[in-house]
Amino acid sequence: MSQDKLAIDGGPKTKTKPFGTGKRFGLDEAKELLEALEQNTLFYHFGQKVKTFLGNFNELYGVNYSVATTSGTASIHVALGAAGVTVGDEVITSPITDQGTLIGILYQNAIPVFADLDPHTYNMDPQSIEARITPRTKAILVVHLAGNPADMDAIMAVARRHNVKVIEDCAQSYLTKYKGRLAGTIGDYGCFSTNDFKHISTGDGGIVTVNSGDEQDYLTTHAFADKNFKRFGDTVQKELHYVAPNYRMTELQGAVGIAQLKKLPWICAQRRKFGDRISEGIAGLPGIASHKVEEGNEGTYWFYMLRVDESQLTCTRNEFSKALAAEGIPNGAGYIPAVMYMQPLFQKRQAYLGSHFPFDLTGITYEEGLCPNAEAILQTAIRLTVNEFHTDQDVEETIRAIRKVANHFAKVPAV
């Protein structure tokens, strides 16, 4: 059928109309920004915008305490610092993530240890985490990748058995639910990013939730993001007890954050609908495995990542990716270039230029094959953009294009 001739071979393109787009920022942000300027201060402690932003975030998330920061990377560093992660400690985390997950670990002179992933949720496998625990393990840094919650019950059970802290990296996972509970409220700390590529943007910025509900933990976390100053009410406690960076959010970011937060439920609902619909639309296709969200969980898809099984197809992953792009569906072959431990930083064991510290404290090395599932995921994944401004037609055409390409290359056609 000519209808089935791939666009890459000169057939008709599946997607004809451009993807839906929209404006992320508008008059609401402008009004908040103007109010921030009219305060005559942009300092979080003197103004109201960061305080209101956090108050609204706490309400949305049902938490008592959170701290605003300059980035997701900063939020994770703050959580690690507040959790007492220090020189020579090991922190177990995911090899498929943004480097922002790892930077704070190394700034605390602690050592990243990588656990393998579930082949279809792309999240850390609790059994692999437990196998990596040593007497040096201080924390588990769980990455909820792409808006999909990790298996928190099992991870919390491992953490309790070994008495280690749990920090959740929710930079890609706003309003993501694990068995009805919000990701970021289950471990000891939840870390969010408001950089310009995340569900909501303040240009750059971040939030850390303090989930123990303990005021002292909150004060420590707060101080860690503000040069160890403790500013509450009219009193400022300036005694320095340990090294803490300046990761303060400004009133300008807080102002934009207030307006962005109001849009967050809609953004997440749209993304959830589109991601789940793609999974439904490509279910059962030969050689295609969908982005798995476990039963009872709610994903908010920062992106959608399917996997191709080359043994069931007559094409390679890269050929599949190119054919899909030719159908008018932009996509990426894989996600990050390689698992994090294959980066030169880990291969050369060089956190600091000209030094092997802190890696030489334990003699740890990072070899290919350490996390076979994670490596296989990156070799066989196709990543699709999910965006709240896409239309139902965009999603249906995306599904049609994937079905067309998969059926074309299937060794055994779908029934």
Taking the least distance from each CB to ligand PLP, the nearer of 108 and 195 is 195
The verdict on 80 binding ligand PLP (CB under 6 A) reads no
- Minimum distance, C-beta of residue 208 to ligand PLP, in the bound complex (Å): 12
Q: Concatenated DSSP letters for 99-163?
A: THHHHHHHHTT-EEEEPPB-TTT-SB-HHHHHHH--TTEEEEEEE-GGG----HHHHHHHHHHHT
The verdict on 149 binding ligand PLP (CB under 6 A) reads no
- The site string for ligand PLP over 107-146 (x = CB under 6 A, - otherwise) reads ------------------------------------x---
State which of positions 184-223 bind ligand PLP (CB under 6 A): 193, 195, 204, 206
DSSP character at residue 352: S
The verdict on 394 binding ligand PLP (CB under 6 A) reads no
Residue nearest to ligand PLP (CB): 72
83-88: Cβ within 8 A, 24+ apart: 83/138, 83/139, 83/165, 83/167, 83/188, 83/189, 84/138, 84/165, 85/110, 85/138, 85/139, 85/165, 86/110, 86/138, 87/358, 87/361, 88/136, 88/358, 88/361, 88/362
Taking the least distance from each CB to ligand PLP, the nearer of 85 and 171 is 171
For residue 353, what are the contacts with CB-CB under 8 A and spacing of at least 6? Answer: none
Taking the least distance from each CB to ligand PLP, the nearer of 12 and 203 is 203
Number of residues that bind ligand PLP (CB under 6 A): 15
Q: Which of 81, 95, 100, 275 binds ligand PLP (CB under 6 A)?
A: 100
> Looking at this protein, which amino acid is placed at residue 395?
V
Q: Which residues of 373-402 are buried (b: 16+ CB within 10 A; e: fewer)?
A: bbbebbebbbbbbbbbebeeebbebbbebb
Q: Which of 172, 211, 221, 331 binds ligand PLP (CB under 6 A)?
A: 172
- Minimum distance, C-beta of residue 71 to ligand PLP, in the bound complex (Å): 3
- Minimum distance, C-beta of residue 409 to ligand PLP, in the bound complex (Å): 31
- Minimum distance, C-beta of residue 210 to ligand PLP, in the bound complex (Å): 18
Taking the least distance from each CB to ligand PLP, the nearer of 207 and 405 is 207
What is the C-alpha to C-alpha distance for residues 29 and 252, in angstroms, rounded to an integer? 10
Exposed / middle / buried, residue 277 (Cβ in 10 Å: 0-12, 13-18, 19+): middle
Taking the least distance from each CB to ligand PLP, the nearer of 81 and 206 is 206
The verdict on 298 binding ligand PLP (CB under 6 A) reads no
Taking the least distance from each CB to ligand PLP, the nearer of 303 and 320 is 303
Taking the least distance from each CB to ligand PLP, the nearer of 126 and 206 is 206
The verdict on 176 binding ligand PLP (CB under 6 A) reads no
The Cα-based distances of 335 to 98, 124, 307, 322, 354 in angstroms read 10, 16, 11, 15, 30
The verdict on 245 binding ligand PLP (CB under 6 A) reads no
Contact residues for ligand PLP, defined by CB under 6 A: 71-73, 97-98, 100-101, 143, 169, 171-172, 193, 195, 204, 206
